[in-house]
Amino acid sequence: MKLSRIRKTLVLIIVIASLPLFLLMTNPEHLPLIFLLTPIALVFLIFYKSSMMLIGLYKSNTNVTKQRTMSSLLAALPTLLIVLQSIQQLTYKDVIIVIFLWLMLWWYLLKIDFI
């Protein structure tokens, strides 16, 4: 149990450290498209792993599938907002729409007893 928590913490530290390393060591002008999407994936992984650890600490008795679903939803919201901001498409209306759709999805998953 303790070894698993240490391993999860170590993975989270590695993922968090990999984002600034990737951004510092690459030049976006010379990268293929797949590597331009890597920071977005790393941001999602950071939010996902962090929320998995927090949910595991506070709700350790919940099902692993439910933990993964909740973590994915929690990680998707800020990642989507970051993506919209990076392409200069983030306005107040977009934030309200994204949050509204996210809340509707969360509510739906609660209603079908998936979360």
**d(Cα 62, Cα 108) in Å, to the nearest integer?**
18
**Res. 2 pLDDT band, cuts 50 70 90:** low
pLDDT of residue 112: 81
| Mean pLDDT of all residues in 68-76 | 90
**Residue-number span of the structural domain to which 80 is assigned:** 2-111
- Predicted confidence (pLDDT) per residue in 49-59, tens digit: 999 888 888 87
DSSP percent split of the chain into helix, strand, coil, nearest 5 = 85, 0, 15
pLDDT of residue 1: 55
pLDDT of residue 96: 92
Instruction: Domain count for the chain, please give it.
Output: 1
